[in-house]
């Protein structure tokens, strides 16, 4: 059993840390939410601990919703974002009673594991041009580029360059006989991967982008799929993020 980042868990997202039942419903918000992504004062150490002051200060993107939920516990996810001149940073903290993670190969079967996904449109005026990248707690990654939207073929091959991923967890991987607590992952994606598809690289103050964040469960006891607005297959009508100074 690996247990790490306990102070980060207790302070980063209190409702998840305390294991309280999530208040989220299956209802997708009507209006497009907006999130101000704060600039990190210094580069972050990507170690999966989420214990740096910048993460504590960053606001959560909001509760995930469960549009296909039928029964069982709605295990919540806390997600935060930061940025600097070089990277888009993401942090996910996922309440999870049964953590599954086996795949580490690039573009492997990451969706069979407990994983989280970024769907990112760097130019808010062109939300059908977007990237989707999935991660698990072991650092496994699958990444795709959809230049023509979710209903058209993805790019034949696209690998994000220089992505840093680290994860930690409290529990036992791939053991359904016990009860785990949570897993968390920290990611840094170089802005250069979106060159040619954004108004400015790196973003300037007040740059507007769009994204969606999803989470899906793997293993023999899968978690319910959840996300900010998971029923929509692209960032078109999801979170509107605005960079600060």
Domains of the chain: residue spans and CATH? 6-21+33-243 (2.60.40.1190)
Phi, psi of 78 (to 5 degrees): -110, 130
Of 235, 209, 217, the residue nearest 81 (C-alpha): 209
For 1-52, the pLDDT digits (tens) are: 455 444 444 457 654 433 333 444 555 555 667 788 999 999 999 999 999 9
* Residue 139, CA distances (Å) to 16, 48, 104 in order: 22, 10, 6
Mean pLDDT of the chain: 83
The tens digit of pLDDT for each residue in 73-126 reads 788 899 999 999 999 999 999 999 999 999 999 999 999 999 999 999 999 889
Residue 232 pLDDT exceeds 70: no
State residue 23's pLDDT score: 43
**Percent of the chain predicted with pLDDT > 70:** 77
Residue with tokens 């900010």: 228
Q: Give SS3 for 75.
A: coil
Query: What is the C-alpha separation between 76 and 213, in angstroms, rounded?
Result: 13
């Amino acid at each position: 059993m690996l247990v790490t980042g306990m102070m980060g868990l207790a302070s980063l997202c209190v409702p998840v840390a305390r294991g309280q039942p999530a208040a989220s419903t299956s209802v997708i918000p009507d209006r497009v939410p907006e999130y101000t992504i704060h600039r990190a004062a210094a580069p972050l150490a990507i170690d999966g601990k989420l214990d740096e002051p910048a993460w504590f200060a960053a606001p959560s993107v909001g509760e995930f919703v469960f549009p296909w939920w039928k029964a069982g516990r709605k295990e919540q996810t806390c997600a935060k974002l930061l940025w600097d001149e070089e990277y888009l940073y993401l942090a996910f903290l996922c309440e999870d009673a049964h953590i599954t993670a086996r795949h580490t190969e690039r573009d492997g079967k990451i969706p069979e594991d407990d994983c989280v996904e970024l769907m990112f449109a760097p130019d808010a005026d062109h939300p059908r041009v977007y990237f989707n990248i999935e991660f698990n707690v072991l650092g496994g990654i699958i990444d795709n580029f959809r230049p023509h939207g979710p209903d058209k073929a993805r790019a034949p091959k696209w690998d994000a360059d220089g992505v840093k991923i680290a994860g930690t967890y409290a529990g036992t991987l791939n053991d359904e006989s016990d009860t785990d607590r949570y897993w968390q992952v920290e990611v840094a994606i170089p802005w250069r991967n979106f060159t040619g598809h954004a108004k400015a690289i790196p973003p300037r103050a007040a740059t507007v982008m769009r994204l969606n964040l999803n989470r899906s469960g793997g293993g023999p006891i899968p978690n319910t799929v959840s996300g900010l607005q998971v029923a929509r297959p692209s960032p078109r009508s999801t979170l509107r993020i605005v960079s600060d100074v």
